[in-house]
Amino acid sequence: MTHLIYDVIIIGSGAGGGTVASRLSALAAEGLKIAVLESGPHFPKEYFTQREIEMFDLFESGGAFPSADGTITASFGKAMGGSTLMYTGVTFRLPDSVVEDWAIDGLSSSDLKTRFEKLEKELHVIEPCQEMENDNNRLFKKGCEEIGISVKKISLNLKNCEQMGFCNLGCANGNKQGTLSVQLPAASKAGIELIPNCKVTNISEKKVRATIKKAPAGSLQGTLNEGIYEFQAKIIVLAGGTIGSSALLLKSGFKKEFPALGAYITLHPAMTVYGIHPKKIKSYKGFPKIYYSPDYSDSPGYYLETAFYYPFITSKNLSLWGKDLKHAMNNYNNLMAIIILVHDEAIADNKIKLNWKKEPVLDYKLSDNSIKAFCDAQAKASRIFFAAGCNEAVMPAAEKPLFSKEDLKGREPELFITPKTFIPNKVPVATAHLQGGCRMGKDKNDSVTDSWGKVHGKEWLYIADGSLFPKSSHVNPYLTIMALADRVSERIIATKDQWL
């Protein structure tokens, strides 16, 4: 085992870890030794081939990490840049109502607002112009307006976007402003080491044990060779995400001290649904996400956003087989798509735990409320599709998943898509917005960190990722994660004299 001494070790390089690294660049410039440990490889932009099966490499478990009961698959990054590598750049500020509902002492809307503004500037957040709208987005807007659903523009963090449309397979020209393009290069320039293929196996007071593996072909070699390492550091920042951070703390024996560790996770469960339009749409061209509707956010609790995916994932989302699947896929260039994102409740029984091999298990059950919200959202989405001119809709939870207006026989879609026809493990539900597990709070009996991400009673240990969320963010979470990571960094810098 090789022993190395650092001042700060950051575990994870996504929205949280990348942001902490960039903020601590000032300390690196002063001569402090800082490293980012990333369990996945460091892929250069030339690696992104825009082919689905080849880009499974960017994700943990090929993008389909299953929940224990198989009802949901989770998609998150396992590479330098974390999930910002394959997100779409959808930028939402945490709504004030959610900040209020979180009720974390010391975390206010005004504090977050300042950070959001700063981050949006750094990340080149823009409001998409009309030229960026593809047909799917135009038709979504039209359909919503026809039936009185309000539509808003989604802000995006892009710079010189060429609108190739393959955001979810990694940006081939590096113009998506994720941490791999913005924060990590800045941190590296300031002298912070980026160490890929480094799987952390245990943490204890000011110590991190890890195994570094060989860089896979096509990826960049880090500064350290293969082997087993022990890093000693004055400050350790965990930013491995809901599953990564929770599982590492569980493995390292922190559960006894923090009973809420791993618990209260939310997933922002998602389904992508489709309409078949008589005209060509080619939704995979241009920018996939421009509009959303928050109309049903308060009740029953979901957002509708535009989206689009490549052939394999589309076929999976359709949840059809036989002639129906062929029919829908033969109309691939005529498909309209909407992604439904449900605001799920944070309950103790939904948790990250470990199996007998000490591997993380996503123990999560879709609640009755989430199923009701999914059904209502599918009914609304089918209304939008038909209002936009689609002849047929594909709703996995419907009595008949592929249906035309005529098939409704005069019934409201809400009566055609009900919890009775929602069959778990048949209906494809996914998540890319895992949250909670190391939630912030006052008390170590029902939370893991304080409002600044410092683990209760551990001056050397911070958390800076989506696992801090005490409840669902309701919105795509990356900007909130970065804002919380910004707070963590601020606290680390402010207390430097105490820990250095």
Partner 1 sequence: MSKIYHLQYLKKNKLLTFLSVADRILPAEENSPGGGSMETAAVVDWYMNKVPADIRKKILLFIDVIQFTGVFFGGKKFSDNSIQAQERQLKWMENNKVRLFRMGFFGIKTFVEMGYYTREDIWTTISYDGPILPDRAYSDITIRELCQNKLEISE
List residues binding partner 1 (CB under 8 A).
46-54, 56, 61-62, 64, 69-70, 164-166, 172, 216-218, 282, 284-285, 310-312, 314-316, 321-323, 325-326, 329-330, 332-333, 423-426, 428
Tell me the closest approach of the beta carbon of residue 154 to partner 1, in angstroms: 22
Which CB atom, from 70 or from 410, has the smaller least distance to partner 1? 70
Q: Which residues contact 252 (CB under 8 A, 6 or more apart)?
A: 202, 203, 204
- Residue 242 CB, shortest distance to partner 1, in Å, is 20
Computed over its alpha carbons, how large is the radius of gyration of the chain? 22
CB of 416 to partner 1, least distance (A): 17
Cβ–Cβ contacts within 10 Å for residue 44, how many? 12
Q: Shortest Cβ distance from residue 430 to partner 1 (Å)?
A: 12
CB 405 within 8 A of CB 379: no
In angstroms, rounded to a whole number, what is the distance separating the alpha carbons of residues 28 and 151? 44
> CA–CA distance from 32 to each of 25, 38, 70, 224, 233 (Å)?
9, 19, 45, 18, 11
Residue 226: exposed, middle, or buried by beta-carbon count in 10 A (0-12, 13-18, 19+)? exposed
Least separation in angstroms between residue 80's CB and partner 1 is 16
Contact by Cβ (8 Å): 60, 446:
no
* Residue carrying structure tokens 């689905």: 52
Question: Virtual CA dihedral for 278, 279, 280, 283, nearest 10 degrees?
Answer: -80
- Closest by CA position to 68, among listed 368, 472, 361: 361
CB of 355 to partner 1, least distance (A): 10
Nearer to partner 1, 54 or 298 (CB): 54
For residue 288, cis peptide bond before it (omega within 30 degrees of 0): no
Query: Minimal distance in Å, beta carbon 64 to partner 1?
Result: 8
Residue among 335 and 379 whose Cβ is closer to partner 1: 335
Residue among 170 and 436 whose Cβ is closer to partner 1: 170
User: In the complex with partner 1, which residue's Cβ is closer, 235 or 320?
Assistant: 320
With respect to partner 1, which residue has the nearer C-beta, 69 or 117? 69
The neighbouring-strand residues paired with 229 are 2, 210
Kindly tell me which of 36 and 371 has the beta carbon lying closer to partner 1.
371
Tell me which residue has tokens 């895992």.
434
Residue placing its CB nearer to partner 1 in the complex, 370 or 447: 370
Q: How far is the CB of 215 from partner 1 (least distance, A)?
A: 11
